[in-house]
Every structure is written in structure tokens, then in C-alpha cells.
Structure 1
Amino acid sequence: MARFIGGGRDQTTLFPEHLDEWIGQDHLARVVDLFVNQLDLPALGFQHHATARTGRPGYHPAVLLKLFIYGYLNRTPSSRHLECEAGRNIEAMRLTRRLIPDHKTIADFRRQNGPAIRKTCASLSISAAASVC
């Protein structure tokens, strides 16, 4: 009989298979997901990069934009911190579909799509203001 609360690390757990089961229906991550999904990214000026010389395809701009907006709303602007959050935060995992872009990829996305990100953030603030009124 154990004398303390807790189990071993090798104990089997019954976590849900889907990340959606961990996120509430009114959670901020769902709002960010819906907002970005309804955007016309090419019209806003987001660039979809060609396959790298190594043959590895790039990340979809929507995935990186979701991570960026989520980090901005949670006061996590650093690309290094966003990289960590994508690997350990369940909400960020849901937004990125369990992809973990590295900090350089996140920083390059921010640098290369600055004007498009500004347009998106402006429309986000307009949408938020309209929903409050």
C-alpha cells in the first residue's frame, strides 16, 4: 500500500484522444481558430512559400498566423516562447495541429508577412469592437 498520493510515471493514463476534448467550447483558442479560418489569406498579402531546397514543404500561413495571434493575445510575443508553447501547451497544439515550428520559422513568418499581419490585427480589433457593441 502506497503511503503518498500520486502514481508512477510508467502508469497508464486514459487521456482523451482528441485535443478538442481538452478545450472548452468558449475558449480563446477556438475563437482564434475560427477567426483565421474565415480570412482570405492571399487577399491580405500572406505569402505561401515554395518547398525548401531540401524538399521539405513549408508550413501553411494559417498555422503560423494562429500561433502568432494566440501568442499575442496571451502576451507571448517571443518566437522562442511560441516554439515552446507549441510543444507543451494544449491550446497551441490544437491550433497548430500538433506541429511545432521552430523559432526561426516563426520569426521569418513575422518578418516576411508584417504588413499582412498588421491588416489581420486591424480586422481582429474591428471584429472584436463590433461584437462588443
Structure 2
Amino acid sequence: MNSSDQNFTQAKIKRRIQEAEASIAQYLKDLEAADLRSPTGSTPHQVRLAERIELFKAQMAQLQAIEEKVQAAPDKQISMSDPDARSMQHRGGGIVGYNVQAAVDTKNHLIVAHELTNVGHDRSSLAAIANQVKEALQVTQLTVVADKGYYSGEQIKDCMDLGVTPIIPKCKTSSNRSSGLFDKNAFIYHPDKNEYECPAGQVLIERFKTVEHGKNLIAYWSSNCKTCALKPQCTTGTNRRVKRWEHEVMLD
């Protein structure tokens, strides 16, 4: 684990620069007041204030140089003590280090694959480590079990394309439930008709295709939302729209 003081993100370097600027401004005010009290000469207090101002100006120059490096970094983050280490969340707070991925054979309870990443989450790691397990065990089909931190539609598709069946709890990230509205789970998809059924029993048909965050999505909605008695529990807009990923059948 590396020192968090030597790790810089955009937010952190911005905060450090603001703190340095505030310190310089305060010392300049103090020096101005000291000069008014002793206009004829440099007292030890005035000398110390001037030294502190120069110290913070030097620190400001260093921080600005670091800021340029942060902006140039692909992930807008650098670590001075270990260039490859990254800031990531951990139980009890954040750390600067690495994310260890390991897969255990449930039959023999042995680690059969592992890798070290500097990505601060697990969402993009499942397919790669699962493929390592397949190669290590020399099998063509594999079932893997992972916690919800690994849940990603793209990773699930990549696993299934590799012949890996992932078993992962689905993350519930919709803000509708916390707002007192129906979330997507309340809508039933009928694959034979390519349509959704809402809690009021209305049919949501395909309207258009779109691309969001690199994913091909299909949008569905009903024309009867305006007169629906359940509309206050469903949407604050004109129509409740449900979007479906083109590969969502794998998630279902």
C-alpha cells in the first residue's frame, strides 16, 4: 500500500492548490499589517512571513506541475511513490494500491487463477479471470460465482461468449425505487411479442433504437400513460419509458 499523500486526482490537486492560494493570501495580509506597524525596517516577524510566502509559492509551483501530469494521465490520476498504484475504495476508507483478483476452485479450495490490477472496482474483471480459470483447468464450460461487485452486462455477455456461465446477484441501481416509483423489475418482458407489460397491464411496444454509453438499446413505452391511474407511482414524465439492452436476454 502506498501513501495517499503521494497520490493525486483532479479533485485532490484542485483542493491542494486552493489551500496553497488561501495560505499565500493570508500571509500577504499578515505581512501588509506588519509593514504598517514597522515601516522602517524588517523585523524577525516580517522576515518569517516573507519566508512563508516564498515557501507556499514554491509549493504552488510544484502543485501546478503535478496538475499538468494529472491532466495528461489517461485516468486523470497519478501516484508519485508508485506510478502504477491507484486510489481505490476499501472497507474503512480509501487506500492507494492494487486490486487483487483471485479465483478459487470450489472442489479443491485452491487458487487456480489470479491477477493484479490498478482498477478501483471489480466490474470489468470477471471475464478475464474466468478465462484464465478455463485455461488453467483445461475445460470448455465453466460456472463461476461472484458477488454483486462484479455485475456488468458487458462482462456477463463476454463470459457467456467464452462458454462461462456467471452467477451474480443483480445490482439494483435505479433511482426510481428510492423516489417511490416502480423500477424496471415491475415491468414484464414478453420475448415472443417483443413488448413489456406494465404494472397496470398496459403494453409497452418498441419505439426506437438508440446508443448510450456504447450500448445498443431499444426504447419501449405505452400511449396510455396519460390516463393511467398508476401514473403517479410510475413516472413524472409524459410516458414511462423502459430501455432494453440488445443482449439483455443473457441477463434475463
Q: In which range does the TM-score fall when normalised by the shorter chain?
A: under 0.3
More helix by percentage: 1
TM-score, normalised via structure 1 length: 0.23
RCO (CA 8 Å, sep 6+): is it higher in 1 or 2? 1
More strand by percentage: 2
Report the structure number with the largest CA radius of gyration: 2
